[in-house]
């Protein structure tokens, strides 16, 4: 089960690992910039602790044979959904949502772990459903596997986190080979559901979407965040105002700047160059991960890497769009960079799984 | 069915497509940022430089607290705070020296505040002094041209109009504690004021209102230039209490020189008409930030002024318990009204001699006379007939042993003994001789004044226990819309009217018949009934031998009264710590409160009361003022 000792990293993909570590380091740096001198002071150190926890999880994931995890993926999936059910029933509300479990000083969002478990089960599904033609039954199974945690998280209610599960459906359908008419059918179904769903959204969620469509209508309310973050990003210009020199961020105009809006702080203080640096690091990571997916030794490994990468990519695109008003503020963090222990730790766990697939790409490993 | 496995090449091709899509998507994002940061960069830069928008919390004006007739008890007044803007100061040391000299401030305090403020960004003003007087404000403003670094801000401060009056009912404000901030779901932050104790705490959410927010445009110095948008605060509700100021004044005056408590309540509804716990404290201290000397004084005072004696202190009820036991025994058919006991001044039970408070004895007494003259031997005998468990059942039915549910925090439940309690809680079996003591309200039995008031109300209202409350109505200051309190009740065992009438007649005789224990306190024009009580201070005799302070060993005085006899509209429970006897120390206040309630000019006090010095000129004045 344990795949021997690591051979001095030679077989580990340093491109993926390196870009992930660079992004995490940027995160600590800018969490420090955004929180120094505020009541959140000290969160950068805490973020570093979580990165260490994440690295531990990553090493464990590399050493552990992912084939084993795939085999038990259904049990893992169930085990990870249980805390979500528990939270809905008994969870204490923090910031009005029931998404946190407390361990003494630390809090953890079990939904983050559920993302990994769901990706595992989706990979296991496609490991076995390997026909040339994508069956309708597979589509429904996929929908059920992803739909259940989405529903549980949506009820917390954490719309942003619920949305981050959805790329798994897209990954399954696209790489599973859904034909064009299938896409059309799905598009129609989604349009109908979206129409009905509007009536189920909480008021503040509607407000956010309304704000996205017309940010100037509500300058005091949720439009404020978008407007302030746009000013922060835009005023950074080409090379930025210098580290800790961002007036928008340092004068605390930005809300939750160390979590969801960390990219706006980078954009203000390091300018367009800083944004390019972040985007380039993500591009390196994703393109390399997709390359690794091609070399995986089995179909389960391929889909595992694709699912995990797809979720990360989706978060990056939505978060970066959010900063400049191209997407509604849904509370999706920037992977590796945003402050948030559960997010950082589980993202590194995902990296560990990707590296594990790559590490065992030869059948005899 | 033939299974055709998908070619790995097909997946690999799709991955190639995905790689291109990922690259394209991230490039598009880069372009979008290029447009925002480079193309529109100057525009946003000027916005960030000139239009810095800051969110400023607007604290909602806190609701007033008034008595039932609208007499204001708690209001807000403007408070002036002096701030130092470091960016404006050319010579910080000089500025600090100037202001210390101008206002005569404590140099150490000012310098430490400036030191602390230096850790904040430069645009954050440093608070130098709070609660400036009008002359000080004028002095600072006169020098504004030379010293633009000093600015004065106005905020609202809580003002308790009658200093320590009704302090325990009102409570006080203080800055929210770290725990309160943590549990408030972001509603309170550091430095926000929050109600502590009393109605300030119980109705915090009503009184506090909802704070608003201003988005102000500040210049590069952090000073406000203009207001961009405003979300109005919605002011707190005004709170009308059930208290009646004229009764409250009478009670406050009486307790100026005494330690104890009084609860006056409408037995039909549970509305608290007057509530005093003495000694008291001035809630204004807390809003002016208590000095450490004041805190020490409050905490070290052996009489504990912060405690609400009416609900937090438990005492033996003494003879006040007798009418309840008398009714219980009648209702259970254990005695009939004409059953008589011979009182020679003492009696022996279980081999121990028990004394009556009247050394010479009461002779042959029936139930009515036993209540009127508070004959202990009668009730010893009654207690022996009842036994402790029946006593427990009777008193529990009147609400003793459980909190009344009054809208004040930290209420105590008291103690009603039973054999099971002795076995399980006390860990020593119940001795029958203890029952004899409990029958006259001594020994292991503890009550609060609030419980006595509620129990007496139940006795008058056929067993219906009103929940005592201070909330009369709340009123929206903008619309005038009122929210009235709907009286709540617990239904105890239903009481039988004919048996109640005997007990009530005994209580009438206490005040209105010669020989009654509170005959000196009868009221002209309205008939008051009641029961006196005297609670022994534990360990009395031993302590005297040890040479303790005699005033602290005086017995506690109780009086629980009501008026008028027909359809009572007020019950009054007076408790005076170390007050001596209930008839002298406690009953006169009940009389004064009944007179205030029914607008009766008090008759010249009878000689016995005058002699004891308990007639305070204050309530004569108060009562006359309110007379129609």
**Which tens digit of pLDDT belongs to each residue from A260-277?**
889 999 999 999 999 999
Question: Which pLDDT value is given to residue A73?
Answer: 93
Residue-wise pLDDT tens digits, A123-139? 999 988 877 778 889 99
Q: How far is A237 from chain B (nearest CA, A)?
A: 5
Residue A150 and residue B322: Cα distance in Å, rounded?
67
Please report whether residue A249 resides in a domain: yes
Give the distance, in angstroms, between the CA of residue A270 and the centroid of all CA atoms in the same chain.
24
Report, as an integer, the average pLDDT of A327-345: 88
Q: How far is B76 from chain A (nearest CA, A)?
A: 29
Question: Which pLDDT value is given to residue A340?
Answer: 86
- Catalytic residue flag (residue B319): yes
Residue-wise pLDDT tens digits, A49-58? 999 999 999 9
Q: Is domain B56-164+211-240 in CATH 3.90.1310.10, yes or no? A: yes
Q: How many CB atoms lie within 10 A of CB B113?
A: 17
The domain segmentation of chain B, as residue ranges, is 56-164+211-240, 245-285+308-475+484-626
Question: Which pLDDT value is given to residue A284?
Answer: 96
Model confidence at B624, in pLDDT bands (50, 70, 90)?
Answer: very low
Residue B279 and residue A173: Cα distance in Å, rounded?
78
Number of Cβ pairs < 8 A linking chain A and chain B:
141
- The residue of chain A nearest to residue B218, with distances taken between CA atoms, is A251
CB B624 within 8 A of CB B595: no
Surface of A (264-303) touching B: CB under 8 A: 267-268, 271-272, 275-276, 279, 282-283, 286-287, 290-291, 293-294, 299, 302
CB B227 within 8 A of CB B216: yes
Vertex B616 angle, CA B579 and B562, to 5°:
65
What's the number of domains chain A is made of? 1
Q: CA torsion sign, B359 to B437 to B323 to B612?
A: positive
Question: Which pLDDT value is given to residue A96?
Answer: 58
| Alpha-carbon distances, residue B69 vs B65, B241, B389 (angstroms) | 11, 9, 45
Nearest to B22 among A230, A251, A287 (CB): A287
Model confidence at B602, in pLDDT bands (50, 70, 90)?
Answer: low
Residue B133 and residue B101: Cα distance in Å, rounded?
16
DSSP letters of B395-440?
Answer: HHHTTTTS----SSSS----B---HHHIIIIISSPPPHHHHHHHTT
Which residues constitute the domain of residue A103? 31-359
* A93 interaction partners in chain B (CB closer than 8 Å): 185
Nearest to B48 among A231, A290, A317 (CB): A231
Nearest to B48 among A130, A247, A324 (CB): A247
- Which of B220, B216, B34, B212 shows the shortest CA–CA distance to B123? B220
Asked if B41's CB is within 8 angstroms of A237's CB, the reply is yes
pTM above 0.90, yes or no: no
Surface of B (42-81) touching A: CB under 8 A: 42-45, 47-49, 52-55
B366 conformational bin, left if phi > 0, alpha if psi -120 to 50, beta if neither = beta
Q: Tokens 């008994």 — which residue?
A: A90
Q: Is A95 on the interface with B (CB under 8 A)?
A: yes
Report, as an integer, the average pLDDT of B578-588: 81
For residue B343, what are the β-bridge partners? B363
Least confident of A2-6, A152-156, A191-195, A331-335: A2-6
DSSP letters of B23-69?
Answer: HHHHHHHHHHHHIIIIISHHHHHHHHHH-EEEEEEEPPPPPPEE-TT
Q: How far is B415 from chain A (nearest CA, A)?
A: 36
Least confident of A242-251, B189-198, B304-313, B396-405: A242-251
Give the distance, in angstroms, between the CA of residue B269 and the centroid of all CA atoms in the same chain.
19
Residue-wise pLDDT tens digits, A164-196? 999 999 999 999 888 888 889 888 988 888 888
Residue length of chain A: 365
Residue-wise pLDDT tens digits, B483-541? 888 888 988 888 899 999 999 999 999 999 988 888 888 888 889 999 999 887 765 45
| B556-563 and B529-535 beta bridge pairing | antiparallel
Q: Is A64 on the interface with B (CB under 8 A)?
A: no
Asked if A175's CB is within 8 angstroms of B18's CB, the reply is yes
Question: Which pLDDT value is given to residue B114?
Answer: 86
Residues of chain B with pLDDT > 70, as a percent, come to 88
Please report whether residue A10 resides in a domain: no
Q: How far is A236 from chain B (nearest CA, A)?
A: 6
Question: Which pLDDT value is given to residue A365?
Answer: 44
Please report whether residue A15 resides in a domain: no
* B38 interaction partners in chain A (CB closer than 8 Å): 237-238, 272
Least confident of A35-44, A135-144, B122-131, B164-173: A35-44
- The pLDDT of residue A99 is above 50: yes
Instruction: State in words which class domain B245-285+308-475+484-626 has.
Output: alpha beta
Vertex B373 angle, CA B370 and B375, to 5°:
50
The pLDDT mean for chain B works out to 85
Asked if B32's CB is within 8 angstroms of A324's CB, the reply is yes
Residue-wise pLDDT tens digits, B66-123? 999 999 999 998 888 888 887 777 788 888 889 888 888 888 888 888 887 776 666 6
Residue-wise pLDDT tens digits, B18-72? 999 999 999 999 999 999 999 998 888 887 766 566 667 788 889 999 999 999 9
Q: CA torsion sign, B151 to B156 to B158 to B159?
A: positive
Residues of chain B with pLDDT > 90, as a percent, come to 48
Q: How far is A16 from chain B (nearest CA, A)?
A: 15
* Contacts of B151 by beta carbon, 8 Å cutoff, 6+ apart: B82, B83, B85, B125
Question: Which pLDDT value is given to residue B615?
Answer: 36
CA atoms within 13 A on the CB side of B286: 22
Model confidence at B145, in pLDDT bands (50, 70, 90)?
Answer: confident
Q: How many CB atoms lie within 10 A of CB A350?
A: 27
Residue-wise pLDDT tens digits, B242-262? 999 999 999 999 999 899 999
Question: Which pLDDT value is given to residue B551?
Answer: 62
Nearest to A272 among B6, B38, B186 (CB): B38
φ, ψ at B201 (rounded to 5°): -85, -45
* A234 interaction partners in chain B (CB closer than 8 Å): 36-37, 40-41, 43-45, 47-48
Please report whether residue A49 resides in a domain: yes
Surface of A (200-239) touching B: CB under 8 A: 219-220, 224, 228, 230-238
ipTM: 0.89
Nearest to A130 among B6, B30, B47 (CB): B6
Higher pLDDT, A91 or A96: A91
Q: How far is B232 from chain A (nearest CA, A)?
A: 11
**Two tokens, residue A325:** 């008003």
Nearest to B23 among A93, A132, A287 (CB): A287
The enclosing H or E element of B216 equals: strand B212-218
Residue-wise pLDDT tens digits, A214-259? 555 555 455 667 777 888 899 889 988 888 777 666 555 565 667 8
Three-state DSSP at A65 gives: coil
Please report whether residue A17 resides in a domain: no
- The pLDDT of residue B476 is above 70: yes
Model confidence at B369, in pLDDT bands (50, 70, 90)?
Answer: very high
Question: Which pLDDT value is given to residue A193?
Answer: 85
Question: Which pLDDT value is given to residue B241?
Answer: 95
- The pLDDT of residue B229 is above 60: yes
Asked if A324's CB is within 8 angstroms of B53's CB, the reply is no
Nearest to A230 among B5, B44, B49 (CB): B44
Residue-wise pLDDT tens digits, B161-175? 888 889 999 999 888
Model confidence at A38, in pLDDT bands (50, 70, 90)?
Answer: low
Question: Which pLDDT value is given to residue A70?
Answer: 92
- The pLDDT of residue A324 is above 50: yes
| B352-355 and B464-466 beta bridge pairing | unpaired
Q: Is A55 on the interface with B (CB under 8 A)?
A: no
- The pLDDT of residue B628 is above 60: no
Model confidence at B310, in pLDDT bands (50, 70, 90)?
Answer: very high
Q: How far is A286 from chain B (nearest CA, A)?
A: 8
DSSP letters of B561-599?
Answer: EEE-SSS--EEEEEEETT---HHHHTHHHHHHHHHHHTT
CB B450 within 8 A of CB B270: no
Catalytic residue (one of B261, B278, B319, B474) = B319
How buried is B526 (Cβ within 10 angstroms: 0-12 exposed, 13-18 middle, 19+ buried)? middle
Cite the DSSP H helix spans in chain A. Answer: 14-35, 43-63, 66-71, 73-90, 110-128, 136-154, 159-163, 167-176, 180-197, 203-213, 223-235, 247-250, 262-295, 299-323, 341-359
Higher pLDDT, A280 or A110: A280
- Which of A292, A296, A286, A289 shows the shortest CA–CA distance to A360? A296
Please report whether residue A11 resides in a domain: no
How buried is B76 (Cβ within 10 angstroms: 0-12 exposed, 13-18 middle, 19+ buried)? middle
Asked if A279's CB is within 8 angstroms of B30's CB, the reply is yes
Q: How many CB atoms lie within 10 A of CB B398?
A: 28
Q: Is B544 on the interface with A (CB under 8 A)?
A: no
Q: Is A105 on the interface with B (CB under 8 A)?
A: no
Please report whether residue A25 resides in a domain: no
């Amino acid at each position: 089960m344990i795949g021997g000792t690591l051979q001095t990293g030679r077989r580990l993909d340093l491109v993926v690992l390196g870009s992930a570590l660079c992004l995490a380091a940027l995160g600590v740096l800018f969490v420090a910039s955004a929180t120094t001198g505020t009541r959140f002071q000290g969160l950068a150190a805490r973020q570093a602790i979580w990165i260490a926890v994440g690295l531990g999880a990553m090493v464990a994931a590399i050493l552990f044979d992912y084939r084993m995890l795939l085999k038990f993926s259904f049990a893992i999936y169930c085990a990870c959904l249980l805390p979500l059910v528990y939270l809905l029933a008994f969870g204490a509300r923090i910031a009005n949502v029931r998404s946190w479990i407390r361990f003494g000083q630390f809090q953890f969002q079990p939904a983050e772990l559920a993302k990994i478990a769901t990706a595992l089960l989706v990979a296991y599904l496609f490991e076995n459903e390997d026909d040339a033609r994508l069956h309708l039954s597979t589509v429904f199974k996929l929908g059920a596997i992803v739909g259940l945690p989405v529903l549980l998280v949506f009820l917390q209610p954490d719309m942003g986190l619920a949305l981050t599960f959805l790329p798994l459906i897209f990954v399954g359908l696209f790489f599973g080979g859904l034909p064009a008419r299938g896409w059309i059918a799905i598009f129609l179904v989604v349009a109908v559901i979206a129409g009905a769903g509007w009536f189920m959204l909480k008021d503040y969620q509607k407000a956010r979407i309304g704000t996205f469509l017309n940010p100037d209508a509500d300058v005091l309310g949720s439009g404020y965040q978008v407007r302030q973050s746009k000013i922060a990003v835009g005023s950074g210009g080409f090379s930025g105002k210098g580290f800790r020199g961002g007036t928008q961020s340092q004068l605390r105009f930005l809300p939750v700047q160390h979590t969801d809006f960390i990219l706006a702080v980078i954009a203000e203080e390091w300018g367009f160059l800083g944004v390019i640096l972040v985007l380039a690091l993500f591009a390196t990571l994703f393109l390399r991960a997709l390359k690794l997916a091609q070399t995986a030794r089995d179909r389960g490994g391929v889909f595992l890497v694709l699912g995990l990468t797809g979720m990360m990519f989706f978060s990056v695109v939505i978060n970066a769009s959010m900063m400049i008003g191209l997407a509604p503020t849904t509370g999706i963090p920037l992977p590796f960079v945003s402050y948030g222990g559960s997010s950082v730790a589980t993202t590194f766990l995902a990296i560990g799984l990707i590296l594990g697939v790559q590490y065992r790409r030869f059948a005899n490993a | 069915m033939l299974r055709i496995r998908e070619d790995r090449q097909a997946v690999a091709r799709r991955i190639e497509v995905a790689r291109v899509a990922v690259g394209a998507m991230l490039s598009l994002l880069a372009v979008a940022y290029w447009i925002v940061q480079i193309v529109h960069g100057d525009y946003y830069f000027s916005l960030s430089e000139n239009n810095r928008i800051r969110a400023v919390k607007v604290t909602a004006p806190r609701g007033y607290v008034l008595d039932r007739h609208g007499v204001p008890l708690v209001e807000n007044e403007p408070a002036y705070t002096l701030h130092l803007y470091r960016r404006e100061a050319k010579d910080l040391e000089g500025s600090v020296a100037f202001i210390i000299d101008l206002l005569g401030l404590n140099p150490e305090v000012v310098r430490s505040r400036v030191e602390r403020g230096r850790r904040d960004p430069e645009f954050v003003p440093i608070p130098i002094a709070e609660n400036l007087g009008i002359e000080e404000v004028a002095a600072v403003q006169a020098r504004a041209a030379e010293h633009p670094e000093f600015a004065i801000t106005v905020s609202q401060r809580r003002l308790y109009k009658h200093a320590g009056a009704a302090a325990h009912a009102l409570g006080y404000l203080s800055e929210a504690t770290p725990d309160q901030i943590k549990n408030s779901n972001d509603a309170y932050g550091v430095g926000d004021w929050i109600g502590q104790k009393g109605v300030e705490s119980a109705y915090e959410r009503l009184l506090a209102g909802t704070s608003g927010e201003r988005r102000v445009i500040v210049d590069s110095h952090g000073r406000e230039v203009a207001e961009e948008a405003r979300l109005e605060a919605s002011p707190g509700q005004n709170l009308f209490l059930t208290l009646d100021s004229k009764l409250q004044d009478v009670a406050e005056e009486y307790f100026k020189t005494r330690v104890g408590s009084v609860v006056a309540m409408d037995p039909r509804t549970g509305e608290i008409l007057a509530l005093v716990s003495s000694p008291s404290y001035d809630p204004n201290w807390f809003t002016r930030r208590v000095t450490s000397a004041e805190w020490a004084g409050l905490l070290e005072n052996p009489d504990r002024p912060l405690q609400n004696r009416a609900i937090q202190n438990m005492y033996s009820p003494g003879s006040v318990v007798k009418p309840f036991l008398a009714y219980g025994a009648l209702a259970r058919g254990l005695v009939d009204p004409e059953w008589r006991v011979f009182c020679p001044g003492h009696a022996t039970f279980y081999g121990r001699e028990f004394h009556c408070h009247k050394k010479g004895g009461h002779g042959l007494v029936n139930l009515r006379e036993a209540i009127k003259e508070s004959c202990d031997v009668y009730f010893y005998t009654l207690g022996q007939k009842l036994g402790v468990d029946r006593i427990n059942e009777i008193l529990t039915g009147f609400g003793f042993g459980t909190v009344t549910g009054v809208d004040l925090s930290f209420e105590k439940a008291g103690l009603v003994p039973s054999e099971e309690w002795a076995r399980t809680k006390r860990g020593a079996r119940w001795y029958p001789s203890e029952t004899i003591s409990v029958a006259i309200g001594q020994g292991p039995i503890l009550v609060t004044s609030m419980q006595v008031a509620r129990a007496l109300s139940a006795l008058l209202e056929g067993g219906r226990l009103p929940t005592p409350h201070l909330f009369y109505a709340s009123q929206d200051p903008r619309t005038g819309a009122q929210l009235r309190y709907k009286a709540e009740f617990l239904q105890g065992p239903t009481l039988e009217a004919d048996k109640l009438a005997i007990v009530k007649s005994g209580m009438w005789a206490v005040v209105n018949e010669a020989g009654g224990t509170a005959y000196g306190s009868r009221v002209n024009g309205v008939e008051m009934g009641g029961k006196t009580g005297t609670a022994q201070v534990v360990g009395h005799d031993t302590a005297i031998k040890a040479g303790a302070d005699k005033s602290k060993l005086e017995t506690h005085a109780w009086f629980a009264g009501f008026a008028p006899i027909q359809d009572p509209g007020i019950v009054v429970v007076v408790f005076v710590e170390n007050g001596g006897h209930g008839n002298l120390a406690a009953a006169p206040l009940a009389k004064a409160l009944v007179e205030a309630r029914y607008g009766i000019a008090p008759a010249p006090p009878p000689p016995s009361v005058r002699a004891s010095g308990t007639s305070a000129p204050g309530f004569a004045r108060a009562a006359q003022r309110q007379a129609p």
